[in-house]
Structure formats: structure tokens, C-alpha cells
Amino acid sequence: MENKSKLSVYIDSVWLAVGELIVAALTSLAFLLFGKFSYTVVTGALLGGAVTVINFLILSVAINRAINGYITERGDKEMDDEAAEEYAKQHGTAVQNAMTKSYMLRMLLMIGSLVLAMISGWFSPLATVIPLIMYRPILYVTEFIKVKAKARRGD
């Protein structure tokens, strides 16, 4: 009883990467239109997009690993409600710890990228922030497209 296919994590990451590339192109175009374009805009947008995709991969892999471990430990044996609740209390902490570690690593990675953008001079800080902010909208648009495509196919 494995948690979702491992391939689906990578497919979602590819869609996120495509969305981040679109955001990077739109960011560069906006800077160009306002006369503020330089190579740091492109490098900043690419840094922000790369950090976003890496964060998504870290989150997906960490959570899937923790949930799969939880399911594997549980096995296929039948449990009544009380036994299932007791098992969840005992082993749910491992999943929570994995999520907390993943969160801390991802936050440090984002903060590090922003600090790098601000002090290095190689990246535009604003162009670095924009892809980080666009993470959720890209995921929403991707899911919307998936739902529409499934409905069109009749799945």
C-alpha cells in the first residue's frame, strides 16, 4: 500500500519548473518594459525559481518517505478503532517530525537564497522574490489545468 506513485512527485515538479520558467520570462519582460533590465534580473528569477522547485522536491520526498514508513510499519493487519487511534498516537510523531525538519530546511534554503541575492550583486533581490511568491498560484493553475483536462477526457 504505497503512497502515490513516485513518478507523480517528479511530474508535479516538472510542471512547477515550467511555471517558474514562465514567471521568470514574465519578470524579465516586466523589468525590460520598465527600463530596469539587467542580467541580474534573469539570474535572480532563475535563482528564485530553482529554490522553489528544490523546496517542492524536498517537501514531496520528505512527506512521502514519512507516510510510506508509517504505512509500512502498520502492515496489513486489521485494527479496531481503539487500536488504530493508539497506533496513530504512537507513530504520528515521526511524520510530524519529518514535516518539521522539511519545513526548517526549506525555510533556511529560501532565506539563504534571499541573503545571497541581497549581498552578492549577481542577483536582483526583487526578481528573486517574485518566483518564490508565485509558488502557490502556479500550483493552483497547474491543478486547475489537470482537473479541466481530466474532465475533458472523461476520467
- Spans of the chain, pLDDT less than 70: 1-6, 74-75, 84, 155
The predicted pLDDT at position 117 comes to: 95
Give Cβ neighbours of residue 113 (< 8 Å, ≥ 6 apart): 47, 48, 51, 128, 132
State the alpha helices, DSSP H only, in 39-124: 39-74, 81-120
Answer yes or no: are the C-beta atoms of 13 and 53 closer than 8 Å: yes
What is the residue-wise DSSP string for 35-57? T---HHHHHHHHHHHHHHHHHHH
The predicted pLDDT at position 2 comes to: 44
How does DSSP classify residue 77? -
Q: What is the pTM of this model?
A: 0.81
The predicted pLDDT at position 6 comes to: 65
